[in-house]
Amino acid sequence: MNQKDTSQAIHYVSQDPINQNGTALSAVIPTQAVTIPACDTLDKTTLLTSLARACHFPSYFSHNWDSAWDCLTDSDVRHLVLDLTVIKKINTEDFNIFKSIIEDAYSDFGKPQLWIIVPFENDT
């Protein structure tokens, strides 16, 4: 997986500075990617609020999934980063809906791509 891989909407990368294929994390995630700030809890409210701030959504953003899709597809943002390593509690249903929105937007408009940083798991 590298910057030239544009065939999928969502990419999972290890927090390890050198990921599984020997590439530095900074070389895997596009430099122009917008980071979605994360806090201890990831749920609909925190995710939509952080996404709106990071992507500079317009004032008419209504803090719901449909409005997020509309604003994402209208924005110039092509790449997003979400670091799961700092999150202690994830509402799985909300997170799956968010990923579905990203996949649908990417399928329809070719953007955005989401780079999800996951905890490094050492198999040794």
Q: Tally Cβ neighbours within 10 Å of residue 77.
A: 20
Which CATH architecture fits 35-116? 2-Layer Sandwich (3.30)
Among the residue ranges 1-15, 26-40, 57-71, the one predicted with the least confidence is: 1-15
> DSSP string of 27-45?
HHS-TTPEEE---SEESHH
> Is the C-alpha dihedral spanning 88, 93, 94, 97 positive or negative?
positive
pLDDT at site 4? 45
pLDDT tens string 51-74: 999 999 999 999 999 999 999 999
Separation of alpha carbons 61 and 56, rounded Å: 10
- pTM listed for this prediction: 0.84
Give the domain ranges of the chain.
Answer: 35-116
Separation of alpha carbons 107 and 19, rounded Å: 27
